[in-house]
Structure formats: structure tokens, C-alpha cells
Amino acid sequence: MDFLMGCLCLGLVGSVGAGEAAAPIGVKRWLSSVLAKIEAADRSRAAGQNGGRSAVVGVRVRVGEDGSVLAVEVEKGSGTSSLDERAVAAIKAAGPFAPPPAQTLMPNGTTELSFPLTLPGQR
């Protein structure tokens, strides 16, 4: 999946500090399923956009304990507002996700993800 390759810096905000063990396999599987749903949602919305070039949008996503998408924000824009909006729309359309693993939940019952989302070019 080229899309997943563009999300190399995917991280749970505040869940794993420097020097701690890598994320457990259940967390990795959940993150992969989140990214796959976002990719599928973007593919269905993206026809004819981007002029064949890919774009990267830095996003932050807050997910509820039930998997609902509670908030999406652009942390670092692509330089093109329509592509930033496309990223936000794809994430919102992809939800709800499977409930996040318990170890990823913060005390308020949410999980936050921050990652660069690569929007593949469409020809």
C-alpha cells in the first residue's frame, strides 16, 4: 500500500515516550485498519484531484473510545487548501473506526493520532 508508506511517522500522541518499547501488535493492527479506512475513503472521493501529484498533509485526529472521529485538524498544510480539506474529509468519511485498544486511551477516554497523510495523485 503506497498510502501506508506515506504515513511513516504515525504516532499516538503522548502514549509512547522515548526509550519505551514499540507499540504492541494489537495497536499496530488497529493503526493499520485506521489508515486502510482513510485510504479507501480518500480513493472514493479523489477522482480528478491533485493533477497526478501526491500531497502530504500533517493531521491530528481525536478518536473516541467507541471509534468515533471526534476531531480532525490540519497541523501542517500541503500548501493547497482544497487538498487540506480533502484530507479532513477523507478522515471524517472513514469513521467510525474500530474501538481503539485500551492501552491507547487517555484518561478522558480518547486517543489522539498525529501523522503525515499522503494523498496520492489521481490521473
pLDDT score for 1:
37
- Proportion of the chain above pLDDT 70, given as a percent: 72
Query: Which residue segments constitute the domains of the chain, with CATH numbers given?
Result: 2-119 (3.30.1150.10)
Model confidence pLDDT, tens digit, residues 37-75? 999 998 866 655 555 677 899 999 999 999 999 999 999
- CB burial of residue 119 (10 Å; 0-12, 13-18, 19+): buried
Is 59 in contact with 115 (CB distance < 8 Å)? Answer: yes
Average pLDDT of the residues of the chain: 81
C-alpha cell at 98: 474500530
Please tell me which residue, 43 or 93, carries the higher pLDDT value: 93
